[in-house]
Chains A and B, each alone.
Chain A
């Protein structure tokens, strides 16, 4: 049986062998690997960029107090960006499944249309969700635009749902039952051992305890900070503050204090911040050139 950490090690080795830079997770809260600057900003511009990394994702609204076997407010993605997308990315992907121990002959793997759009990043692309025996295990997207800017070199983004893949490979029904360290003795540690308390306490925080007034203030502060940093032409810190504002908004939404009309306003604010960051990033690349 393949442990959770072995799946990650195998993916790291596989993509390193394909020439990817293996980065480490971004240390600011993000909702998806797509928000890591190694995706958003680096996908823009013309230069070559192949990268892979694990990214912990936070989606406060998805918390279920660790009650739901498959839905959590914190989980892991394995993110690969190949820029430009080579001529055989589907084969590279299928080989990566072999590399982590999938027997492709025993499973029904399908590429099912799922065009991707992220309004708060102003990003869109075409692609599929990859199904293994009817379960979505990966999102596969050719980016067409980011921050409202058309990609001059089209990258492909491959996002593995690590918990999904692990439950599948280990034949368990709940994320919390995933064997993390691969031991079978009394020192076996499961995903639940590692993260269940984290999941429960953050669900309480997100839904019931987070201080609304503080978050509202933070949102405004982060928005201002982002704008100020852009004025100083410090694009990467500015982008980080756009992400922080976004996370504040996600927490406020989980707290249920944002009405439908307000929601549209917040999303538009975040999109503007992201767009301005992407714009400034592209301009700085043009200046360099």
Chain B
């Protein structure tokens, strides 16, 4: 097509896990580069397959935009060194200087350039700027030096602009751009001449390269589903696996293989994890998620019998290992594994996992909790979890069932890791939820207590995620998790348990932990309920201590958001600010036990007293709060609050202060809103 730019960076295999991000980065990076050259174009598209990243720019105009620019330099009286510096920096000489208003100017306008002549620089820029999370250099025979960084060595670059192939030497990778590409590594290994993107795409298809990643993914999904359905099976849907296998083939061919019957006694999770992690096979099930003795796999070339028997054989070897681990693990009780937890380091500064278990015991209550805690970490020492760390918890549950534990304990063992991620499921059982809370809180208290607070975006111990999970357990679990005391009771008890083990935490650990959790609570409320940061701040500030009811904070934040959007807000805020102004700091310690017992003679103050006691009995009713606010404002306008008589003055202030307290308790701290 006319005015179309087609680039293909043909390399050795790009890791499957990097492809999805790379294809987006490629587009973004190239758009930025086009802008930086003042290029005019309609659209940039990017594509990826295991051995290539392709960029297509449509309607890339032959000339770049001309730029009008005049730049002011030093004063005419400035020393010549300054003037020369100005000239050098802009690549001009004295004859270009323009004098005006006592200053030198330079005319830096540039005429539009021929796009074709800029393409080489754009390619160099792209190679330089494309952000790979992991990249490498290789040796360039022509340059006698190492290449620029790329994910794997680039072997050729296709470049066609405005239907014409361009030959440009790209120094950073020691290659001259060309008019050909290559098809499938094994099915169509030869060179393919290309004239434009349509031609390129069509010829790649003919030569067994599916350029459209989404299409390839869907194709795999559909084919496996279809083949499985034909023998009455379902594919266990697994998007990350689907994405990975799509990134491993240039053209997908699907095969259904079989699992040796003797492995079918293994738990579903074990079979499925072993097949996925080691072999990238899909699990196939009968209706009702019952595992079947079949798997789905994807190959890069059409299958052969010898290939199929290879797949079955590799799986046999893998599953023999898994079956061996399973059998060995079942020979040992979870108690026996748990006894060896003193040899497993939890953290170098915080002792062993056995010590962690002891600390969790100190905040547990029910018998079920104690039993769960005693067993929940034991599976870390099983061979199966050693091989597949992602099965932790799940193996604990399976082995606990096998040794006849109470079913609620078994479930809680699995659940005590939940929620695993920001958005994943919470535990279902109360014991699971509480033990999960104990475990996470112990980690947070210990690590923050020895000063390992994350800095900036660096959070190698994932403390923010742990704290976020705690917030979710406290806010989202259907029951109250804190049944034995407030949050700070749990923290203090853990600190005591640490100290009994001879592990000294910083003296202000409670505050550090509370503040850290509150920080996550803030994010949680902002994101989940779409509430501004200022509103959440004012709610958090309105509590008297760092240990407050998180669920109440959520309710207040939602109420306050609604209030701010209504007309009632202004009057309450005004009254609040006037009241704060009157109380000032010197009366900050003024105590208000019961406003009802105070006797007022002034009718405005009596009215205010009534309004406020009404507010006390109906704390969440905004119309009553508005009436109280009006009464505050009227009283301030008509009464000398700071009466000469000390008793009257203090009583007036007590009443005003009570209003502030009620707003704090039920609405929020409005000082900075």
Q: Is B231 an interface residue (CB 8 A)?
A: no
CB interface residues, A 103-123, toward B, < 8 Å: 104-113, 115
- Give the residue name and chain of the A residue nearest to B279 (CB): A134
Q: Are A144 and B306 within 8 A (Cβ)? A: no
| Interface contact tally, CB-CB below 8 A | 96
Interface string of A260-273 (1 = CB under 8 A from B): 11000000000000
Interface residues of B in 122-148 (CB under 8 A from A): 134-139, 141, 146
A260 touches B345 (CB 8 A): yes
Residue of A nearest to B152 (CB): A126
Indicate whether A135 sits within 8 Å of B138 (C-beta atoms), given known contacts A70-B317, A104-B186, A261-B348: no
Instruction: Report if B274 contacts A (CB, 8 A).
Output: no
Are B139 and A107 in contact (CB-based, < 8 A)? no
Bound together, the chains give a CA A168 to CA B309 distance in angstroms of 11
Residue in chain A with minimal CB distance to B249:
A110
Task: List chain A residues, Cβ under 8 A from B310.
Answer: 107-108, 132-135, 168
- Given A87-B155, A142-B136, A261-B345; A108-B307 close (CB under 8 Å): yes
Determine how close the nearest CB of chain A comes to the CB of B484; give it in whole angstroms. 34
| CB of B446 closer than 8 Å to a CB of A | no
> Is B153 an interface position by the 8 A CB rule?
yes
Residue of A nearest to B304 (CB): A106
Bound-state Cα–Cα, A105 to B13, Å? 19
Given A70-B317, A154-B146, CB of A108 within 8 Å of CB of B301:
yes
Asked if A173 lies at the interface with its beta carbon under 8 angstroms from chain B, I say yes
Tell me which residues across on chain B come within 8 A of A128, comparing CB atoms: 13
Closest to B247 in A: A113
Against B, the Cβ 8 Å flags (1 = close, 0 = not) of A233-263 are 0000000000000000000000000011100
Chain A residues near B15: list those with CB within 8 A. Answer: 113
A154/B299 in contact, CB under 8 A: no
Q: How far is the CB of A41 from chain B (nearest CB, A)?
A: 18
What separation, in Å, do the CA atoms of A134 and B153 have in the docked complex? 24
Are B311 and A84 in contact, CB atoms less than 8 angstroms apart? Answer: no
On chain A, which size bracket covers the interface? 35 or more
Residue on A nearest B313 in the bound complex, by CB: A173
A43 CB to nearest chain B CB (Å): 12
Interface bits B147-172 vs A (CB < 8 Å: 1, else 0):
00001110100000000000000000
A153 CB-CB contact with B under 8 Å: yes
With beta carbons under 8 angstroms apart, the residue of B146, B152, B300 that contacts A108 is B300
Instruction: Contact check, B248 vs A112: say whether CB atoms are below 8 A apart.
Output: yes
In the assembled complex, A85 has its CB within 8 A of some CB on chain B: yes
Inter-subunit contact A87/B141 (CB<8 Å): yes
Contacts of B146 in A (CB 8 A): 152-154
Flag if B141 contacts A134 (CB, 8 Å): no
**A261 to B344 Cα, complex, angstroms:** 10
Q: Which residue of A lies closest to B142 (CB)?
A: A87
Which residues of A are found within 8 Å of B408, using beta-carbon distances? none
Q: Is B12 an interface residue (CB 8 A)?
A: yes
Q: How far is the CA of A173 from the CA of B248 in the complex (A)?
A: 27
- CB of B67 within 8 A of chain A? no
A154 and B138 in contact (CB under 8 A), knowing A108-B300, A112-B248, A134-B314?
A: yes
Q: How far is the CB of B149 from chain A (nearest CB, A)?
A: 10
- Nearest-CB residue, chain A, relative to B297: A134
**Contact status A154-B316, CB under 8 Å:** no
B17 within 8 A of A: yes
Q: Is the CB of B12 within 8 A of A85?
A: no
Structural contact, A154 and B139, CB atoms closer than 8 A: yes
A220 interface hit (Cβ, 8 Å): no
* Cβ-based interface call for A18 (8 A): no
Q: Is B61 an interface residue (CB 8 A)?
A: no
**B16 part of interface (Cβ distance < 8 Å):** yes
User: Nearest residue in B to A104 (C-beta to C-beta)?
Assistant: B186
> Cα distance A6–B119 when bound, in Å?
52
CA distance A152 to B146 in the complex (A): 7
Check if A90 is an interface residue, CB within 8 A of chain B: yes
Q: Cβ of A259: which chain B residues have Cβ within 8 Å of it? A: 343
Can you identify 26 A-B contacts, CB atoms within 8 angstroms?
A69-B317, A70-B317, A84-B138, A84-B141, A85-B138, A85-B139, A85-B153, A86-B141, A87-B153, A105-B186, A107-B301, A107-B306, A107-B310, A108-B301, A110-B300, A111-B12, A125-B136, A134-B297, A134-B310, A135-B313, A135-B314, A153-B146, A154-B137, A154-B138, A168-B310, A173-B317
Spell out B's residues near A (CB within 8 Å): 12-13, 15-18, 50, 134-139, 141, 146, 151-153, 155, 186, 248-249, 279, 297, 299-301, 303-304, 306-307, 310-311, 313-317, 320, 343-345, 348
**Cβ-closest 3 pairs across A and B:** A133-B310, A113-B15, A84-B139
- List the interface of chain A (C-beta within 8 A of B): 69-70, 84-88, 90, 104-113, 115, 125-126, 128, 132-135, 142, 144, 152-154, 168, 173, 259-261
Known pairs A105-B304, A135-B314, A261-B345. 15 more at Cβ < 8 A?
A: A107-B301, A107-B306, A107-B307, A108-B300, A108-B301, A109-B300, A110-B300, A113-B15, A134-B314, A142-B136, A142-B153, A144-B136, A154-B137, A173-B313, A259-B343
